[in-house]
Amino acid sequence: MEDTELSLNERKVLLALAGKGPRSPEELLEGGGFTEMVEVMSAASWLKSKGLLDIHEKIDTYYIPDTEGKQYIARGELPEFTLLKQFKDAEKKDVAQLNSTGLPGGEVQIALGWMKRNGWVSIHKEGGKSVALLTEAGRKQLEEGPLTGQMRLIKLAADMETGGGAPEADAKKLDAHALSMLLTRKGLLKVRERYVRTLSLTQKGERLAASGIKVGEEITQLTPDILQSGRWKDAEIRPYDIHTFAPATHGGKAHVLRESISRIRDIFLHMGFTEISGDYIESCFWNMDALFIPQDHPARDAQDTFYMKTPATMDIPEELAVTIGKIHENGGDTGSEGWKYRWDGKPARRAILRTHTTVNTIRYLRDHPDPPVKVFSVGKVFRREATDNKHLAEFHQIEGIVMEEGASFRMLIGVIKEFYARMGFPEVRFRPSYFPYTEPSLEVEVRFGDRWMELGGAGIFRPEVTAPFNIKHPVLAWGLGLERLVMKRYGIADIRQLYMGDLEWLRKTPLQ
């Protein structure tokens, strides 16, 4: 390789490192003729790709004083030495009398414990009292003064804090045992980590640097000013190499989930639907009771539903609650027999994280009981699921209803087929199913490759659901899963990958 194949900054780095061994980027920035760190690291990266330089990285641990450490620095001594000074006039002390020293009450026991741990005193019983007796190590420490091994470490960290704290190597060299003891004490030292980089030339780089590299003005792009001034005659014009490695660039784009939600929204809007939304926190009344879900249904159990602590309860419309309560008990005026139990308004007031977005549509129907109604929503729902490759406690649901005169089961099937066809799944099939709030009910499956995949449920709202809101016409409803749909579209085997923020995968995955 010739030096003409190197940029000006690459040559500067080579010359700054030649024969000098490993150096940090900061040292090169200071003494290598650079103005910004980005110039150093960019040149170093290119030299590394050409086999001329090695970049070494390691994590360096260092320490800085914490809150109590700073207090002890200002005091000049640790609390155990403050307590130790009380033994200058007497080598034996009643432990109970130590509480009358100048230390705050909480520090006395801490200080006494560290005195004993350091071997400065021994504690034994005399006449039913605890007595502290000064040891030889304690006498020696009194003679040496307050600068114990731990105190020296705290002061070292304080002296070096502006420069990044006391490095691990220096701290251990001073007193490794004191450091290990000090780190068990809360509030004295903070442990920090930083990446440390060093740059060094390879043998190939050293040979090239020794061959005689020149550093002068280099023109990488011709401009009208350079041509008119004549500077190009005396400057070196860098040759272009079309084979030079260039890093891949990635433009910004939407996350696959966000892109899918946007596509779903566009499909429903083009099909004549209106988008609605609602709150994450709902009462059991709207989330379940208004949908004719009985109060002993397994979905209400704490192992399936997230119940709120704040707020624990929510207000509900009392008059409507009476009507819905009667429908639960005996069917009310719907012709149904209800669930034949005593409906209770107390559990209906409990606040939960919504378990489905159907709660949005029933609220909307209360305010819009007259046809035609065509609405949809795409929102998060929450269920107490064990997290694995196919389940999350938080996921999205695609919800929609159609309410109009003459609405039929055949129309429901047609709407769902049309939606999935526009999403790229032309093969759809339906299986009979059961839901407390729809009858008839069905489950929706789409064909992906050679397999059928269940993606949600649908049906026609029961009279027990629509009667309290004076709705006279059929309501076609569906609730479909989003994450499973996205997983199949993008070939994802683990649902958790959608929320991991893997930038490399996101960059390489083309939006569909």
Fold assignment, 248-279+354-512? BirA Bifunctional Protein; domain 2 (3.30.930)
Q: Where are the domains of the chain?
A: 1-77+146-247, 79-145, 248-279+354-512, 281-353
- Residue 172 is classified by DSSP as H
Distance CA 452, CA 93 (A): 83
Tally DSSP H helices, then E strands, for the chain. 20, 17
Neighbour-count burial of 281, counting CB atoms closer than 10 A to its CB (0-12 exposed, 13-18 middle, 19+ buried): middle
Distance CA 167, CA 355 (A): 52
The answer to whether 79-145 and 248-279+354-512 have equal CATH topology is: no
Tens of pLDDT along the chain (512 residues) come to 555 577 778 888 888 888 888 888 888 888 777 888 888 888 888 889 888 999 998 887 777 788 787 877 787 888 888 888 888 888 888 777 776 566 665 677 778 888 888 888 888 888 778 888 888 888 888 888 888 777 777 777 666 654 555 555 555 555 666 777 777 777 777 777 777 888 999 989 888 888 877 665 666 677 888 778 877 776 766 666 666 666 677 778 888 899 999 999 999 999 999 999 999 999 999 999 999 999 988 888 877 899 999 999 999 999 999 999 999 999 999 999 999 999 999 999 999 999 999 999 999 999 999 999 999 999 999 998 878 888 888 999 999 999 999 999 999 999 999 999 998 888 999 999 999 999 999 999 988 778 888 888 999 999 999 999 999 999 999 999 899 888 888 888 888 888 887 788 888 888 76
**What pLDDT score was predicted for residue 6?**
79
Token pair listed for 214: 């020149």
Distance CA 430, CA 461 (A): 17
At the second CATH level, the architecture of 79-145 is Orthogonal Bundle (1.10)
What is the edge-to-edge ordering of all strands in the sheet holding 92-94? 92-94, 129-134, 121-126
Closest CA to 386 of 304, 464, 447: 304
The 10s digit of each residue's pLDDT in 105-122 is 567 777 888 888 888 888
Distance CA 244, CA 251 (A): 22
Query: What is the pTM assigned to this prediction?
Result: 0.56
- Residue 23 is classified by DSSP as B
In this structure, are residues 79 and 206 in contact, taking their beta carbons and an 8 Å threshold? Answer: no
With a CB cutoff of 8 Å and minimum separation 6, the contacts of 220 are 7, 238
Give one DSSP letter per residue of 239-293, joined into a string.
Answer: PP-TTS-----------HHHHHHHHHHHHHHHTT-EE----SEEEHHHHTGGGT-
